[in-house]
Structure 1
Amino acid sequence: MKREYKNNDIFHVIENWAPKHLAYEWDNVGLQIGSYNKTVKKVMITLDVLESVVDEAIEKNIDLIIAHHPLLFNPVKRINLDTPQGRIIHKLLTNQITVYAAHTNLDAANGGVNDMLCDLLGIASREILTEVSSQKLYKIAVYVPTTHVDQVRSAMSENGAGHIGNYSHCTFQTNGQGTFKPLEGAAPYIGAENELEFVDEIKIETIVKEERITKVINGIIGAHPYEEVAYDIFPLKNQGETFGIGRIGTLSATMKLRDLCEHVKSTLDVPNMRVIGDLDKRVRKIAILGGSGEKYIHLARQKGADVYITGDMSFHVAQDAWQMGLPVIDAGHNIEKVMKQATKLFLEKELNKDWIEIITSETSTEPFQFI
């Protein structure tokens, strides 16, 4: 039987990759306009939600637009149909098109926008440029009668517990004996009211990420036969996964800055760019941050970058980089369009392509021309 996807099903898939809590406080990610529960058959990925993009979505019968840059940043005080924003909102609502944004959370996610740029440019051995958050880890232990060990262990793993590196379903089990006395009003699965019961049980222990704890506990309770489930949660000092904005890594070989510029232009489809520094300087260690990354020039320099690739450098910050001897390639904000194809491939891998169609927008949202 063919499965029916709702918008919220797609949102969950994206948020498993780029959790919303990774977004900066000033950002506005997630549902922008539309419905969580509307059936979706056709999705379009775009960098920006401009009126021309919405017109494309209408023409192609799109149900859901997934954008990198949010349509709505600030509170909307009025919807004036004589303004571009008003017309966009009107068209989206009239045509029942939902808009969802994954912005700085997709920048910070592992495998997100900055890793996409590194993959294309051949930047390897990379690290996070500036950390946004570090994952907290917990140990969860639950006591289960021997008859239900497989069901409870599976429920824990299926809800996200037990992941260590490239391994899943990691648990440890200990045999023991549990005791309990059902009091008046209880409805015990095993035992009788006011009688002490001894039960052979197994203690299942595993590791769980903070954001998965509620789902894991709900899974345990759903699979466990007892009326009252006994479990423990312990905070761990183990280092969890770290997330951050920007990357710094190395090319396979050194090259002149002018050759790197040509490499960036051809690989990222950038017709022209601004460059700071000696074009004959040889570079290998690269810091990169898609979008506007000018406030991180000092960090890039501090971490030993030979050159910094980003967008939207303002005049005085560019002078600061120049004076400190940090070459900068301002490739423009539009290089983040790499997220379109990469997000399409990610969703196709996670979803059944026979049941949902995913395309990338063909509309350019680059506002600048070079003459």
Structure 2
Amino acid sequence: MKLYQLTTYLESIAPLAYQEDYDNSGLIVGSGDQEISQALISLDCTEEVVDEAIRTGCELIISHHPIVFKGLKRFNGKSYVERVVQKAIRHDIALYAIHTNLDNVTGGVNARIAQTLGLQNTRILAAKQGLLKKLVTYVPLSHADAVRSALFEAGAGNIGNYSECSFNAEGTGTFKGNEHTDPYVGIPGQQHQEAEVRIETVYPAHLESKILMALVLTHPYEEVAYDLYLLTNKHQQVGSGMVGELEAPMSETDFLRHLKGAMRADVVKHTALLNRTVKKVAVCGGSGGFLLKQAIAAGADVFVTADYKYHEYFDAEGKIVIADIGHFESEQFTQHLLYEIIQKKFSNFAVRLTEINTNPIKYFI
């Protein structure tokens, strides 16, 4: 199939608009029109992973971490980033990254960590703002159902676990067209009154062009009246981290033992134990220290994440147990998540999990 068919599907699950400002998710090397028959999935895109793709005949590498975060000014092979990009281009291998956009969706990286730990009743720990907008439009009664259906089909009207949400109020619209108009109802030069429905519905901001196209194509009027509003509401299905509950409470030492085994961690660094049972657990794949206050506010007994610095451990202040399991360890199951996502949609497409352990950190035990 064409590369864009796969990337379009991945971005319908984890839209690029949901990545953090510093990130570089998306197609890094390659063309959307490129034909692909096999893909290799890895947490990181290293030279060894590119060699594996060449050896196995994969035309695409899908990694969680982008190989390129900042602009490259030279391609002389002096850094591993330059060598990876050079080798991929030389062998016509596309590189695609799905990073913080996959972190920030409900069924993404943190959901897989929560699932691995057996957490239930999960929710986003820190929901994001500025991602939602509201559309208000006015439609003649005869076309209200068709317009609503088109807007819902384009992605509007989703609130939490509910879909096709809208508010509707009937009223009277007035207009008068000039001699250049060809109105759906009324006569040019004469004021016309029409029974209309005011339709209000919310939508993700990144779908705006698709939403408006659906509105214009379905609405019968020559000139479609609509208003757009930016909302400050938090998008409860998009954000950082996740919090949930264990099926049954555990002692702190039993939980740390469970955490170490379930996440295949060689070591768990943690703050002082508080001699409490563990029921509620907050998680964040990768560097999640910025979410400590939210984890405490959510009532979590333990915060599972990675990349904590020495002085940051003091911030627990006896309110929570911080458990640092390592960056690679916290995100390693992302590879399996991506494999399942792709196989569910493209069951006949060949997808491989890398056999390379890309963790740059080694432990002497």
TM-score range, shorter chain: 0.7 to 0.9
Change (3 A) 1:58 1:279: farther
AA aligned opposite 1:78:
R
Matches within 5 A, 1:189-204: 193-194=188-189, 202-203=196-197
* Distance apart, 1:361 and its partner CA: 2.4
Query: Quick check: 36-45 or 258-267, which moved more?
Result: 36-45
Q: Report the RMSD for the aligned CA atoms in angstroms.
A: 3.2
TM-score by length of 2: 0.84
Q: Does 1:46 align with 2:42?
A: yes
Match of 2:80 in 1: 84
Gaps of 5+ in 1: none
Q: Contact 1:256–1:279 (CA<8 Å) still a contact in 2?
A: no
Match of 1:10 in 2: 6
Change (3 A) 1:93 1:235: closer
* Distance apart, 1:48 and its partner CA: 0.8
Change (3 A) 1:116 1:133: farther
Q: Contact 1:34–1:96 (CA<8 Å) still a contact in 2?
A: yes
Q: Could you tell me which of 109, 115, 134 is aligned with 1:113?
A: 109
Change (3 A) 1:10 1:44: same
Q: Could you tell me which of 149, 152, 157 is aligned with 1:162?
A: 157
Q: Could you tell me which of 270, 274, 280 is aligned with 1:275?
A: 270
Matches within 5 A, 1:146-225: 146=142, 151-171=146-166, 180-188=175-183, 193-194=188-189, 202-203=196-197, 205-211=199-205, 212-225=207-220
Q: Could you tell me which of 340, 357, 363 is aligned with 1:364?
A: 357
Query: Quick check: 174-183 or 17-26, which moved more?
Result: 174-183
Q: Could you tell me which of 283, 287, 297 is aligned with 1:288?
A: 283
Change (3 A) 1:322 1:222: closer
Q: Could you tell me which of 306, 320, 327 is aligned with 1:333?
A: 327
Q: Contact 1:133–1:242 (CA<8 Å) still a contact in 2?
A: no
Q: Contact 1:54–1:91 (CA<8 Å) still a contact in 2?
A: yes
Gaps of 5+ in 2: none
- Which whole-Å deviations, capped at 9, do the CAs of 1:171-225 have from their partners, x for residues lacking one? 56667776655433334456665466676x6536241214133211111212334
AA aligned opposite 1:107:
D
Between the aligned partners of 2:128 and 2:187, the Cα distance in structure 1 is 53
- Which whole-Å deviations, capped at 9, do the CAs of 1:1-57 have from their partners, x for residues lacking one? xxx4442x4333333333333333222222222223323433333211111111222
Q: Could you tell me which of 123, 135, 141 is aligned with 2:137?
A: 141
Q: Does 1:74 align with 2:67?
A: no
Q: Contact 1:321–1:328 (CA<8 Å) still a contact in 2?
A: no
AA aligned opposite 2:256:
C
Between the aligned partners of 1:174 and 1:299, the Cα distance in structure 2 is 39
AA aligned opposite 2:339:
K
Match of 1:253 in 2: 248
TM-score by length of 1: 0.83
Q: Does 1:307 align with 2:302?
A: yes
Between the aligned partners of 1:315 and 1:234, the Cα distance in structure 2 is 44
Between the aligned partners of 2:244 and 2:165, the Cα distance in structure 1 is 32
Q: Percent identity?
A: 33
Change (3 A) 1:40 1:330: same
AA aligned opposite 2:215:
I
* Distance apart, 1:332 and its partner CA: 0.8
Aligned residue for 1:245, secondary structure, equals: strand
- Which whole-Å deviations, capped at 9, do the CAs of 1:95-133 have from their partners, x for residues lacking one? 222222222222222222112111110222344433443
Match of 1:353 in 2: 347
Aligned residue for 1:76, secondary structure, equals: coil
